[in-house]
Amino acid sequence: MEKKEEQKLREMINAYQTELLHFCYIRLQDKMMAEDAVQETFLKVYRHLSGYKDEGHEKAWLYRIALNVCRDMLRSGWFRRINRHITPELLPDDSTPPNEEEIALSQAIHHLPVKSREVILLYYYQGFSVTETASILGIRQSSTSERLQRAREQLKTMLKGEFEDE
């Protein structure tokens, strides 16, 4: 790899490593596996960086690779057999405790079907546009919009009973 490409890879790692780690953690629900997924993502980037020419969309390219790495990990037989339950001792310390609404929303998002969860995470939490989200997921924009609308409706239904009594 040339010096220029090595520098570009370092810049990408510095710019996106933390974001990708959060994204992979949300998908995999396991810190160590998320770290492995990010590492695998950057290995794939390293292998294909010389052929990559679309400078303006590198973030979307990275997220697409990370999403595919996570999907591959979720499909593996090993992943389905391990116990991924998180105990309270393993949770990171938070500077401000989440309120009831944030907890309910987070739980509702985790109960969405995978396709709905992916589009919500990319659009709302990672800040991608509908076009970028469609590109990352490898689907049409109209499908992305439909999944987004369906996910919003599902969340609305799930959360409706949660706060009606208050």
Query: Residues 104-157: pLDDT tens digits?
Result: 888 888 888 988 998 998 898 888 899 999 988 899 999 999 999 999 999 998
Dist CA 16 CA 59 (whole Å): 8
Query: What pTM, to 2 d.p., does this model score?
Result: 0.61
Tokens of 64: 């697409």
49-68 per-position pLDDT tens digit: 877 776 668 888 899 999 99
SS (H, E, C) 6-48: HHHHHHHHHHHHHHHHHHHHHHHCCHHHHHHHHHHHHHHHHHH
